[in-house]
Structure 1
Amino acid sequence: MTKLIFQETISLIKWVLFFLCIMFIFRLLFGYVCEVNGASMNPTLADEDRLIVSRVPYYLHNPERFDVIVFKSQDGRDFVKRVIGLPGDTIRYENDQLYINEQAMDEPFLEKIKSQFREPFTSDFVFGDKGNESIIPEGYIFVLGDNRQNSMDSREFGLVPLDSIQGKALTRLAPFDKLVWNVSEVTYAETE
């Protein structure tokens, strides 16, 4: 009887270890659920929204402009921000207009919210005006929160190394009444 209980216990332990290995591999390859902390991505994403974050897109290619990503900060926290500048880019904001490589760029995810402000939604700045290089070097990206007036982002902490990126935010799971399949394409109108 004791031998049978021992064998069943060993069998159960093997199944639990197998399940844990499968879950670890799934998380490593495909992604995980991440919670947004803070208001830096308002109105696109709100505090405590839950996102599915996938590593797969960045196994195939580097982040693309305007992707919403999750990355590890230097102190180990997960940050959710939007990719604005890529390696080789110059960036500046003037009169609430984004210029990348001296070409004006539309930010459709901010259009409605920007129209509600009298003053500029994004303050004027030039990447490199704090003594940094003026061109984003290889291996780095420039990120901003969509809540430009209340976001700690590359304007504060500088460039984000590509190897600190945890994945691309794909889907907003919760709150369920605001389910969105492609977070990077959410506009302000879809958050109301």
Structure 2
Amino acid sequence: MGSSSSFWNRASREAMKSGVFVAKIYCFLHVTTNYFGFAGYSYGPSMIPTFRPSGNIYLAERISKRSQEPIRGDVVVLRSPEDPNKTPIKRVIGIEGDCISFVTDPRNNDTSKTVVVPKGHVFVQGDYTHNSRDSRTFGTIPYGLIQGRVFWRVWPFEDFGPLGPTPT
């Protein structure tokens, strides 16, 4: 009986150590991804040539002021106002107070529209304007929908490197 009891004591101690270790890892990942930054995957044609349509892995940050209030030219990850389960990547074209003129549907006509970006919002657009659902379709985006600012391309390795703002 004594050896059986020591086995269970040892097993419970090891299980407790493993559980604490897993909890620490979970807490570290939770804090890191929710407050500092995260890795993401993008695919599709809307950001050609910045990102490849076949897929890219990127790093986005949440810790700087620019991740919450981006400047013109920044590439941001946002919660889609049309489908909250989607997080598209778009470029900031206009910040609050800007007057933005754009062609509503460049594939079919040249009708243009002008909007003034309201306070606390940004106007976002895909780099490949002929195939992008962006602020031209769903309007300006409040700062609260911005999930982070993309700052580094990780995959494919040919594109590995920093991603700074591009003049618009």
TM interval, short-chain normalised: 0.7 to 0.9
Q: Does 1:92 find its partner at 2:101? A: yes
- Please tell me whether the aligned partners of residues 92 and 124 of structure 1 are also in contact (alpha carbons under 8 angstroms): no
Measured in 2, the distance between the counterparts of 1:52 and 1:124 equals 36
Partner in structure 2 of residue 39 of structure 1: 45
Alpha-carbon offset, residue 184 of structure 1: 3.1
Partner in structure 1 of residue 80 of structure 2: 73
- Please tell me whether the aligned partners of residues 96 and 121 of structure 2 are also in contact (alpha carbons under 8 angstroms): yes
- The aligned runs of 1:108-119 (5 Å cut-off) are none
Q: Aligned residues, how many? A: 154
Measured in 1, the distance between the counterparts of 2:99 and 2:64 equals 25
Partner in structure 1 of residue 133 of structure 2: 152
Alpha-carbon offset, residue 148 of structure 1: 1.1
Q: Tell me the TM-score normalized by structure 2.
A: 0.83
Partner in structure 1 of residue 152 of structure 2: 171
Gaps of 5+ in 2: 1-6
Gaps of 5+ in 1: 95-118, 129-134, 187-192
Residue 7 of structure 1 is aligned with which of 13, 20, 31? 13
Partner in structure 1 of residue 112 of structure 2: 125
**Helix, strand or coil: the match of 1:169?**
strand
Measured in 1, the distance between the counterparts of 2:163 and 2:146 equals 18
- Please tell me whether the aligned partners of residues 169 and 184 of structure 1 are also in contact (alpha carbons under 8 angstroms): no
**Helix, strand or coil: the match of 1:143?**
strand
Structure 1 stretch displaced more, 177-186 or 48-57:
177-186
CA 37–60 in structure 1, closer or farther in 2 if over 3 Å, else same: closer
**Helix, strand or coil: the match of 2:47?**
coil
Alpha-carbon offset, residue 183 of structure 1: 4.5
Alpha-carbon offset, residue 161 of structure 1: 1.1
Say what the alpha-carbon RMSD is for the aligned residues: 2.2
Partner in structure 2 of residue 57 of structure 1: 64
Measured in 2, the distance between the counterparts of 1:154 and 1:67 equals 15
- Please tell me whether the aligned partners of residues 57 and 167 of structure 1 are also in contact (alpha carbons under 8 angstroms): no
Alpha-carbon offset, residue 70 of structure 1: 0.4
- The one-letter amino acid of 1:141's match is V
Q: Which one has a bigger Cα radius of gyration?
A: 2
**Helix, strand or coil: the match of 2:10?**
helix
**Helix, strand or coil: the match of 1:2?**
helix
**Helix, strand or coil: the match of 1:5?**
helix
Partner in structure 1 of residue 119 of structure 2: 138
Measured in 2, the distance between the counterparts of 1:144 and 1:178 equals 21
